[in-house]
Chain A
Amino acid sequence: MRNIQTIAWKEIKTYFASPMAYVVAASFLAITGFFFVASVSDPFAEASIRGYIAGAIFFMVFLSPALTMRLLAEEQKLGTLELLMTSPIREWEIVIGKFIAAFVMLALMVAGTFYFVVVLAWYGDPDIGPILTGYLGVLLYGGATLAIGLMASALSSNQLVSLVVGAGLLTGLTVSNFVADRLTGAAQEIISNFQLGSSFSVFDTSSFGVVEGGHFADFARGIISVTDIAYYVSITAVFLFITVVLLESRRWR
């Protein structure tokens, strides 16, 4: 536990000392702010944060890997991984510590959007339920994207490769409904159930909502579904596990 804390704290301090975290946070706030404003500025617009959520989960496909790309790639490039792996700590402690650091950064970014809710409450009468489940969904979804990004970071000592691989995987999991639509039977069932987010309705300016299907839709609607929570937690756990295995495999090479 102490090792995890040590690593997480060091990474958080490094985030605050490096420009990347600020660039990512600024992009996130600018993009989500734009989508929020666009979704509520029509006459008779709904007082909800669905527009913000749609933008957030779509752009996390790129922003999460940008946040995680350094975490393990740089350790490999600098050779400091050799010191970590010869210190009396376990691989999973390294991985969990780094994941927590990235998640704290993500949570801070998401917390930075909370003024949307204040604006809604000031000018309208928002339904607080879907807002809370929306935030819960964003954090769960964000955790899953960070785990995938962290795994991509373990693959290479090159941060750019990590970014591209991470964003590529996330894009694949996001657009998997296009593949599922063209399949039938069990294959369709499996692939459509693996769809990470379903935010492509951001291109549908008339709704700015979250499309039906996928594991995110219910959170945006105010429904807490055990299946969806289990899905995001499982994705996070599986990819963190793969990351640990990738680190362990370095010993055998």
Chain B
Amino acid sequence: MIRLEHMSKSYGDYPAVIDVSAHIQQGEVVGFLGPNGAGKTTTMRVLTGFTPPTEGTAAIAGYDVVSHSLDARRHIGYLPESVPLYLDMTVMDYLRYMGQLRGMNRKWIDERLPVIIDTVRLGEYQNALVGKLSKGYRQRVGIAQAIIHEPDVLILDEPTIGIDPIQVVETRSLISELGGDHTLILSSHILPEIGAICRRVLVIHEGRIVADDDPENLSDRLQHAERIEVSLRGTESSEAITAIRKLEHVVDVRRDSRPMQDRMAEQGVVALVIDAKPDEGATEDVARTIVDSGWGLVNLHPLPMTLEEIFLQLTTEEGA
């Protein structure tokens, strides 16, 4: 459905995407993972025909995005990161207009509108001006315009950026539902988000694909240390560190140095960050040690690896 062959894109002398190749089959749900400026948006802009590649080719449903641009664009629904909307139109007028631009006839639009409004749950706001809607609802309007013409390929650029956490959850579940009907590409700089929605992850870093795998394999490949954050009461930090460091699978223990911990410290709570070997039950050992020592366990939870660490690991892995 989507083919990228040695695609490169430069802005002037600046290479935004370098020699990217990928084949995406019909019905696949693929995540582009990478930090800001990695080349995710540029890759999407090439796929949507907004900007032509400097080298190599890209094709949607067999149509080259440069030589058969209009045919390729007919198969795409696209939501840019900035969620561009006409603020002075009502939701219905806007969706109707976007449908017409995608070549839908009146009958088809009339059939689709109620379905779309229902899918993105915009019912009570369908006659509101887009400019009056909150960011989360605008996001839904943006998704609605991308799917109104039932495209084969749906491309969503950072669909959950800048909206509040409750709406993030709703938007994610909405996107997951869409995955069933469309070949879907979404970009994100949040690994758990990609992991929750996508069956395949392309990790993009400095314009190159550094990993192409399913989320589970990616996690395994990362061989990440298990990281636990604990807060305890009734002991000195040095004493706790010494005790926990003796445990078999613990690699490193240090005080949590984030500023918000200072107030905790005033209340006699010691916060520690523990790195341990993965899948060896280190968390249980730590909890047992704390309880057996008679300290109060205030908080214990695993910390996810930060994206920076993932990229560091992937890029050094490639370099080795």
The answer, yes or no, to whether B87 is at the interface (CB within 8 Å) is yes
- Are A3 and B84 within 8 A (Cβ)? no
Contacting A252 at CB < 8 Å: which of B52, B83, B84, B102?
A: B52
Contacting A86 at CB < 8 Å: which of B49, B82, B103?
A: B49
- Are B50 and A78 within 8 A (Cβ)? no
CB-CB nearest in chain A for B72: A88
Query: How far is B80's CA from A82's CA once the two chains are assembled, in angstroms?
Result: 8
Contacting A251 at CB < 8 Å: which of B51, B70, B74, B80?
A: B51
- Are A87 and B51 within 8 A (Cβ)? no
Query: How far is B50's CA from A193's CA once the two chains are assembled, in angstroms?
Result: 40
Report the minimal beta-carbon distance from B59 to chain A, rounded to whole angstroms.
15
- Are A88 and B70 within 8 A (Cβ)? yes
- Which chain A residues numbered 8 to 36 have a C-beta less than 8 Å away from chain B? 10, 13-14, 17-18
CB-CB nearest in chain A for B73: A88
- Are B11 and A253 within 8 A (Cβ)? yes
- Which chain B residues numbered 47 to 83 have a C-beta less than 8 Å away from chain A? 48-52, 70-71, 73-74, 76, 78, 80, 82-83
The answer, yes or no, to whether B118 is at the interface (CB within 8 Å) is no
Q: Which residues in A have their C-beta under 8 angstroms from that of B86?
A: 14, 78, 80
Q: Which residues in B have their C-beta under 8 angstroms from that of A229?
A: none
Q: Which residues in A have their C-beta under 8 angstroms from that of B309?
A: none
Binds A, one of B93-101, B176-184, B231-239, B255-263: B93-101
Q: Which residues in B have their C-beta under 8 angstroms from that of A90?
A: 70
- Are A18 and B88 within 8 A (Cβ)? yes
- Are B74 and A83 within 8 A (Cβ)? no
Known: A79-B84, A80-B86. Contact between A251 and B98, CB under 8 A? no
Report the minimal beta-carbon distance from A72 to chain B, rounded to whole angstroms.
14
Q: Which residues in B have their C-beta under 8 angstroms from that of A6?
A: 97, 100-101
The answer, yes or no, to whether A85 is at the interface (CB within 8 Å) is yes
The answer, yes or no, to whether B85 is at the interface (CB within 8 Å) is yes
Query: How far is B145's CA from A89's CA once the two chains are assembled, in angstroms?
Result: 16
Q: Which residues in A have their C-beta under 8 angstroms from that of B100?
A: 2, 6
- Are A79 and B101 within 8 A (Cβ)? no
CB-CB nearest in chain B for A6: B100
- Are B80 and A78 within 8 A (Cβ)? no
A2, A3, A13, A82 — most chain B CB neighbours (10 Å): A82
Q: Which residues in A have their C-beta under 8 angstroms from that of B82?
A: 79, 82
The answer, yes or no, to whether A37 is at the interface (CB within 8 Å) is no
CB-CB nearest in chain B for A7: B101
Report the minimal beta-carbon distance from B142 to chain A, rounded to whole angstroms.
9
Contacting B50 at CB < 8 Å: which of A10, A14, A82?
A: A82
- Are A85 and B50 within 8 A (Cβ)? yes
Q: Which residues in B have their C-beta under 8 angstroms from that of A85?
A: 49-50
Report the minimal beta-carbon distance from A243 to chain B, rounded to whole angstroms.
18
Query: How far is B49's CA from A80's CA once the two chains are assembled, in angstroms?
Result: 15
The answer, yes or no, to whether A84 is at the interface (CB within 8 Å) is yes
Interface size bracket, A side: 20 to 34
Q: Which residues in A have their C-beta under 8 angstroms from that of B51?
A: 251-252
Report the minimal beta-carbon distance from A144 to chain B, rounded to whole angstroms.
28
Q: Give how many A-B residue pairs fall within 8 Å (CB-CB).
A: 65
- Which chain A residues numbered 202 to 231 have a C-beta less than 8 Å away from chain B? none
Query: How far is B110's CA from A203's CA once the two chains are assembled, in angstroms?
Result: 56
Q: Which residues in B have their C-beta under 8 angstroms from that of A10?
A: 97
- Main secondary structure, interface of A, reads helix
Query: How far is B88's CA from A18's CA once the two chains are assembled, in angstroms?
Result: 9
- Are A251 and B50 within 8 A (Cβ)? yes
Query: How far is B10's CA from A37's CA once the two chains are assembled, in angstroms?
Result: 61
B52, B71, B73 — most chain A CB neighbours (10 Å): B73
Q: Which residues in A have their C-beta under 8 angstroms from that of B48?
A: 86
Query: How far is B76's CA from A7's CA once the two chains are assembled, in angstroms?
Result: 20
CB-CB nearest in chain B for A18: B88
- Which chain B residues numbered 1 to 58 have a C-beta less than 8 Å away from chain A? 11, 45, 48-52
Q: Which residues in A have their C-beta under 8 angstroms from that of B85?
A: 78, 80
Report the minimal beta-carbon distance from B154 to chain A, rounded to whole angstroms.
12
Q: Which residues in B have their C-beta under 8 angstroms from that of A81?
A: 84
- Are A82 and B84 within 8 A (Cβ)? yes
Q: Which residues in B have their C-beta under 8 angstroms from that of A18?
A: 88
Q: Mark contacts of A113-151 with chain B using CB atoms, 8 A cut-off: 1 yes-contact digit, 0 otherwise.
A: 000000000000000000000000000000000000000
Report the minimal beta-carbon distance from A196 to chain B, rounded to whole angstroms.
32
Pairs across A and B, CB under 8 Å, 25 listed: A2-B100, A2-B103, A3-B101, A6-B101, A14-B86, A14-B89, A17-B88, A78-B84, A78-B85, A79-B83, A79-B84, A80-B84, A80-B85, A82-B50, A82-B80, A83-B80, A83-B145, A85-B49, A87-B101, A88-B71, A88-B74, A89-B101, A251-B50, A251-B52, A252-B51
Q: What is the interface of chain B, defined by CB distance below 8 A to chain A?
A: 11, 45, 48-52, 70-71, 73-74, 76, 78, 80, 82-89, 93, 97-98, 100-103, 145
Other than the given A79-B83, A82-B50, 10 more pairs (CB < 8 A) read A3-B101, A80-B84, A80-B86, A82-B84, A86-B49, A86-B76, A87-B102, A88-B102, A89-B70, A89-B101
Query: Which 6 pairs of residues, A with B, have the shortest CB-CB distance?
Result: A79-B84, A86-B48, A80-B84, A79-B82, A6-B100, A87-B101
